Structure 1
Amino acid sequence: MNFNGKNILVVGGSSGIGLSLVEFLHENNASVYVISRSKPAELPQGITHLQADVTGDLGAVSGFLPDQLHGLVYSVGSINLKPFNRLTPDDFLNDYRLNVLGAAQIIQHAAKPLKNAAGASIVLISSVAANTGLPYHASISAAKGGVQGLAISLAAELAGQKTRVNVVAPSLTDTPMAQNLLSSPEKREASAKRHPLARYGQPEDISKAIAFLLSDDSSWITGQIIGIDGGLGKLKTA
């Protein structure tokens, strides 16, 4: 995949899957724009960065973006795992604001440059838990279900301007956000065994799939929710 001449925005591109994607796009000649709460030293040289919190004031986003935006990835999320009877209204609202409202507001700010690109691609990130019943996931599953609903509606609404909208739904991936779930050899082994392919995800497993959906190679794919989950979402092997 070559992204020469393509402007791509990655929201949440400072760590984990987002950072892996930024590095891949940069290596493949994209002009990459990153929005994140902090700017880590790991960002490649030449990346255009805006420090912003997606749950706060996003007024600077419109002026930050180029006139044409060929791709937008909202790689922001949360892992809020609690028994249902311990979840508060704020838990649900905070997960919704971060995952759904943040994505919606970013896309609204980027609407004009996306339209100007005449064939742009938007990729949102859900979770295997939105489509597979997993205990202790009620709040994040509800929020990620909202992400999927947003994406499907936008895919229909933006099809006329040739803007594609798709979703990737990963399972547990070895990122800083998941460090508490993979903090010991025993936890890592148990997490791997839960997946039919006997391993948990790596950031590049997800980021390369996102890159495909951003590329011209996927120009006839829109409105899809693609599980990248080691088989967890669809297969029962034991």
Structure 2
Amino acid sequence: MDFTGKTVIITGAGKGIGRATAELLAERGAEIIALSRTQSDLDSLREKIGGQSYAVDLSTAAGARAAMAEVGPADFLVNCAGTNVLESVLDMTEEGYDAVMNINLRTALICAQEFARRRIEAGGGGAIVNVTSIAGHRGFQDHLCYAASKAGLEGATRVMARELGPHGIRAVAIAPTVTMTELAKGSWSDPAKRDPMMVRHPVGRFAEAEDVARAIALLLSDDAVMVTGSVLSVDGGFLAI
């Protein structure tokens, strides 16, 4: 999986899965175009891997389009930017809905659209990886809008695969389980919350950000040349039981 000479746009590259993916692909030769909201995260990432970085607000349609116009063309896109607002069915607010759906779904669709337009102008080829979640497959408490956004992105991925395939562009989704980012470590440190979820993982642990990054690298690589329109669960067997 050598990505020498390839350019990868990664949204949400400042932290978590996005950052781990940026670091891994850079190690394997890729030029990284990192998009994130927090300049300090981008600064530390650039010190480590070089590449290009852009502090952008992807929460609006205009912001997402402006960001993609600024970064220009690339070989691959990883839609990793995401957020969550914990609200139940009965407590959902319009503000929570907009915050989650705008970033998790609309931004991903706009970035994929702008990426695909430029790939087609350049003659086609390339791949999109949309980072979703097992929350799109199981009903987790207080994850109403998050689940809707991730399930929606998986449906959109299949449409992307169908419509962009004739241009040589693959589109796949990757659905991680609980992934131990810095934020998640705090959320899942309580044994009362952690243990009932952990026991549903046959491998006996949650994912690390690097586990998901390696799977993303696989999906971008030529080893996955016939993989498109699919959802790869990186879940330690969670969805199997």
Instruction: Tell me, yes or no, whether TM beats 0.5.
Output: yes
The equivalent position to 2:105 in structure 1, one of 100, 103, 112, is: 100
* Cα distance in 2, alignment partners of residues 99 and 217 from structure 1: 28
Cα distance 1:54–1:46, how it changes in 2: closer, same or farther (>3 A)?
same
Which shifted more, 79-88 or 27-36? 79-88
1:11 aligns with 2:11: yes
% identical aligned pairs:
30
Match of 2:148?
142
Match of 2:44?
42
Q: Secondary structure at the match of 1:233?
A: helix
1:196 aligns with 2:198: no
Tell me the CA shift for residue 188 of structure 1.
4.3
Match of 1:54?
58
* Cα distance in 2, alignment partners of residues 170 and 7 from structure 1: 24
Deviations 1:161-210 (CA, angstroms, capped at 9, x unpaired):
01000000111110134244223455444442232222111001111000
Cα distance 1:186–1:132, how it changes in 2: closer, same or farther (>3 A)?
closer
Cα distance 1:158–1:70, how it changes in 2: closer, same or farther (>3 A)?
same
The equivalent position to 1:64 in structure 2, one of 59, 71, 74, is: 71
* Cα distance in 2, alignment partners of residues 54 and 212 from structure 1: 26
Match of 2:79?
74
Q: Secondary structure at the match of 1:134?
A: coil
Contact 1:126 1:144 (C-alpha < 8 Å) held by counterparts: yes
1:229 aligns with 2:235: yes
Which shifted more, 70-79 or 89-98? 89-98
Match of 1:21?
21
* Cα distance in 2, alignment partners of residues 3 and 124 from structure 1: 19
Contact 1:12 1:18 (C-alpha < 8 Å) held by counterparts: yes
Tell me the CA shift for residue 85 of structure 1.
1.3
- Structure 2: unaligned runs, 5 residues or longer: none
Tell me the CA shift for residue 153 of structure 1.
0.7
* Cα distance in 2, alignment partners of residues 132 and 158 from structure 1: 29
What is the TM-score of this pair, normalised by structure 2?
Answer: 0.90
Tell me the CA shift for residue 142 of structure 1.
0.8
| Structure number having the greater helix percentage | 2
CA RMSD between the two structures = 1.8
